[in-house]
Amino acid sequence: MTEFLFVIYALLFALTSSVMLLYYRRIRQASTDYSRTKTAIADMALSYNRDLQKQDEKVRAVASKCEENTSLAQQLESEIANLRARMDVFAADQEALRSHLGSLKEHMDAQRNEVLEKLDRLEAFGNELKMPPPRIESAIPIGRERALAALTQTELRIIQLLGAEGEKSAPEITEAVKLTREHTSRLMKKLYARGYIERRTDRMPYAYRLKRETKDLVKGESTAS
């Protein structure tokens, strides 16, 4: 009986030892798996942290560039504002200069017209001084002499030019008598207003020709000479 109990105890001890050994192996395997899993998770966390750091560095770099671009944009806006202010000042100066030049031109035109008028008066006065005493000739009426004697030498040149060459435009007359365009224009208006010439307004520039009465005066003057 004692041997039988000993055998039973031995079997129970062996079974218990086997179970404990198996359980120990499973616990060890579980511990190994846990360590591996923990290491893998730590590696993943480390890798994730590295990725986060890289992304953070990229975000900081982008933010820095944005700040630099913002600063550059503000600087450009400031420079553009300064340029606009300078352009406004330049435009104001240009307008003032134009106004001054316009006033100066008007003053110069007035002075030139005044000088031309004085020259015409001097020329007429000199013509009166140099005019020979009137000759009494039956071929030339008194009214004809007075009509031609009232003209200046320049006006006589224009009358003789139109009488010899016929109708001419204002630029052609200017070129022939060697005067300025303004002076010639004034003389032609004067001769037209006094009835010596006719003016064609159907073409530009205007063309001028002698009236029939003026032609007769010129012909009579040439015959008398």
**pLDDT tops 60 at residue 225:** no
Residue ranges per domain, the chain? 57-130, 141-224
- Three-state SS for 24? helix
Q: How far is CA 44 from CA 40, 41, 52, 89, in A?
A: 6, 5, 12, 67
pLDDT at 135: 35
User: Do residues 208 and 165 make contact, with C-beta atoms less than 8 angstroms apart?
Assistant: no
pLDDT at 133: 37
pLDDT at 136: 27
Considering the domain 141-224 in this protein, what is its CATH number?
A: 1.10.10.10
Q: Is the pTM of this model over 0.75?
A: no
Mean pLDDT of 156-180: 88
pLDDT at 134: 35
- Three-state SS for 198? strand
**pLDDT tops 70 at residue 140:** no
Distance, in Å, from the CA atom of 147 to the CA atom of 196, rounded to the nearest integer, reads: 9
Mean pLDDT of 113-125: 66
